[in-house]
Structure 1
């Protein structure tokens, strides 16, 4: 008996065979392995005896499946490795045409280049119907799976999608219509299916329109934008049936604010004067938004709310302001201009004409006020009769003295109408005439010719000297006065309008 074989390396043999029989067994093993898919042990031996050998099975893969997207030509093939027997070293994938029965290698696999994984992609498969089988291989062993369900490959027809926008640009709140048109390559029939409209990659929620292609291959999406901006819009046609999907080039939709205009509903005043009555302005905007007002001539007029006040003479320009909002752009500014006249003023004399103006007599102070509160200026229109310096009138000759009051105005007030004050200027008083002194014991009687408008003052002096500067007393003609012994002189002068005439005297002995 031969020695037993090492159990870790080979089975124990217990039979003896001739060389020819061993050759026949080997040939049968190979044939059965190819036909039945079973794995058999085989060996050649010389000598006699009997023995036993351990055998194992290479099981076929299961669950073979082939899938292909609509319109695609790449078939995804998957299977499951056998859960019993020895592990396969790799797999050969076979594609069988159901129409002709012809087999073709798939997934680029072959006996010399099997697929290691349990899935593969069979690329660029021609149109047709197929079943897929997977053969497990290990050394010279093979085990073939059951075929897959029928897989149909139908190359999709290419399409082109375009999108347009109307109107473009559009205003905020205005409805924009996006129109997508899908056409097939080579003029084949019109595609059907749905279109998705996207704004910068995000799906648009259309307010109306149909996103399903009509008989002309057209889909629409309508919506209005609530704010201004730019939108990069595309239309994506999803593959449907034999039609391949396609995405349009983007169209840039511009959304702008709505325009608005402003119109004055108030008219410009025709009687605007500095400091005069205020004026109320009003205007409306086509947007319905509130209009505010401003003055572009603040040195002439100011605006508070809708009230215009006049601060200086000139041209007042009031402008409208409507700055818009998220929907409306700012309105073009509209202006209203009008002339603001200087305020009027009047002058009133507050001093009266003197009744005793006399040439060389006391001066007179004049005064007047202007309704503007501005200072009044005085002058003489009769400089030969009187002169004016500031508010002081000096009389230089007889006649009518005319004093003028003027207020020339300023940026706010017009010049006041000139006012005048007339003063009659009399001649200087003359010395009393026809003075007679009649002495008597202890008394004397003086008489002279009295003139209207005059008053008289008298003085008794010793000797024939000149009268004293003081000591004059009021007197009238005839005038009785006490005398004393000796040489004496009676003096008298007239007073008119505060002006003293030259004195007249008579010397006598008491």
Structure 2
């Protein structure tokens, strides 16, 4: 900085003196303009009225920033910049940042700076930078003066980093069922790719039983086996992981060959088999570990179901063992096992369960088998209780039914011992259904009700009353004689073929309408009177006594029943009144006069 200070004198100077002063200032200005490095000058004057004076001046340099450094993360688009402020000279008022494309030498403002909008710190971030390689320079600014730094290091902005994937196999050709390891190596121009690799066979994902499909130092592996022969096209597909782009390996041809196999019987041939005797469990294994199937080479002597050998005739039994192979293994050569089966006895088993509720008129299908497989015939040993036709048993009477099962044998089997099956036959059960609907408004003395019922045996049902004070029954006619619940009973006693049926009942309510009591009889007694009448079930009664022939009082009624004795009557003529009551409704009273004694 140049400072010049003029001390002005109080007295005025002549015009020539002012010309000399102007000449001196001009010389100082020319001297400042000839300084080689960017400089900054500042001039002050204490007063402009003085005509003469003396002064002094100095200069200082605006230095450029140093150590400009640029960095960008892989795949990033924002470049971080730092630099060091000048350590000599005046301090910059700010900085302008310039980005230069190394390929085209095109330069643009960076970090949003300009000559009029500098940054005042020694770092900034240049955002949204397009792909390319760049250098940065930082320009120090102060009052129109500039000082430009040296270029920064080169930085490359690459949002997506290309990768390549290579694929190898541990064995080709391999055998069916043999573990094979595929190794995928993913490489990039810079950095180490991470993420997942998918292994595919002909475009379909391979199920890896081992290895790691996650990249580690750029390598992923897949251990798998193939269950069939053929040539497969294997690829490794890297899915990509920012900033690394996805890539797929070239197809690798994996050849898988078929294996051979042999069969070995692991069970020992029996030495004392007979027709119909215990079965033999044959066993064999193949070197492929695939299941072995068995058949009989002599079906007249033995049959095979799964691994069970059954002896059906005498002679030599030959068991055949085969393994048809699959995509991995060729068919095995057939293996055989032969042994002798001798003629044997046979036995009968009745396979149907004896009925536990056999009744006369019913049937039962009997079933039995012989170990020979020959047909079993049936007959009845108790024809008065049951008969047999083919395998159908018909129950014709009560008692013990005995069925005989026989098999006479043939050239291979001797006659079987007869088998018997016995069980009890009882009378048939029956049940009753009351088929008429109970009345809903039955009333004592009202309309009769005709009850109907049927039995499963078809035998007639008899009807009776279980509540004769409420209802009576004659044949199928129900008459209502009192109030309450009427219970109608239905019975069927059975016969020689059917057991008695369980009794059925039907219950319903019978109401009573209050009626004038009948057959009222009053008998005077000393100081009172005794009265009787015919009571009706379901009704209650109220009584009172009046003097002479006076009518009954509305509030003088007292509960009573037939045979009541009323005391405290007066000499002379009195009248006894009685009425029936139900549900708050009273009948017309009955009355009788008497003379007190």
Query: What range is the shorter-chain TM-score in?
Result: 0.3 to 0.5
Q: Which has the higher contact order (CA 8 A, sep 6+)?
A: 1
Superposition TM-score, scaled by structure 2 size: 0.31
Choose 1 or 2 for highest CA Rg: 1
